[in-house]
Amino acid sequence: MTVFSSARAGAVRAAEAVPLLQGPLGALCLASGTDTGGGASFVIHDLAPRALGSPVHTHTREDEWSYMLSGEIGVQLGDETTTARPGDLLLKPRNVPHAFWNPTDEPARFLEVITPGGFEDYFAALGELFATGGPPDLGALAGVAQRFGLILDISSVPGLVQEHGLVLS
């Protein structure tokens, strides 16, 4: 068992979660890489009905595990597509392209564990980018993705929206 000597000890209360991103995809940080000594980040995502959570993207530095709390999400993992429901765990290792969306008329919520920690700062950067309102500046979005070692396939958006009956807001 690995023990991170610089990790914070104690309970994290729901009221202590730090909002990073608001909108169709929300992100609340329960524990950051700083809190865990770099070991992991714990982020709660809320995903609005019929919303695209993310276009196809590939992490080059992180692995992600998403545990479904409520609702359901559709997920493309490599060449496979699946649906995750409460109690399901999605494994999204680095270097595997993936996308996710909410194909239903009900909100979805899931806990994402990201290793190593630090990627929560990506959601904070997106929050700043989206705070201006309107569609994001694609150049700025590409810059944020590059800073975090994320390969983003923006061209996948129209196909995902059409195939899964999503609404972009």
pTM (two decimals): 0.91
Q: What is the CATH number of the domain that holds 100?
A: 2.60.120.10
- Mean pLDDT in order along the chain per 10 residues (169 residues): 61 89 95 93 97 96 97 97 98 97 98 97 93 81 94 95 93
Domain count within the chain: 1
Query: Which domain, by its residues, includes 40?
Result: 16-162
Closest CA to 44 of 74, 67, 75, 13: 67
Q: Is 11 within a domain?
A: no
Nearest C-alpha neighbor of 112 from the set 78, 145, 73, 76: 73
> Angle 110-133-19 (CA atoms, 0-180°, nearest 5)?
35
Question: What pLDDT score does 124 carry?
Answer: 95
pLDDT of residue 1: 44
52-59, strands of its sheet edge to edge: 80-84, 73-77, 98-101, 52-59, 150-152
Q: Tell me whether residue 8 is in a domain.
A: no
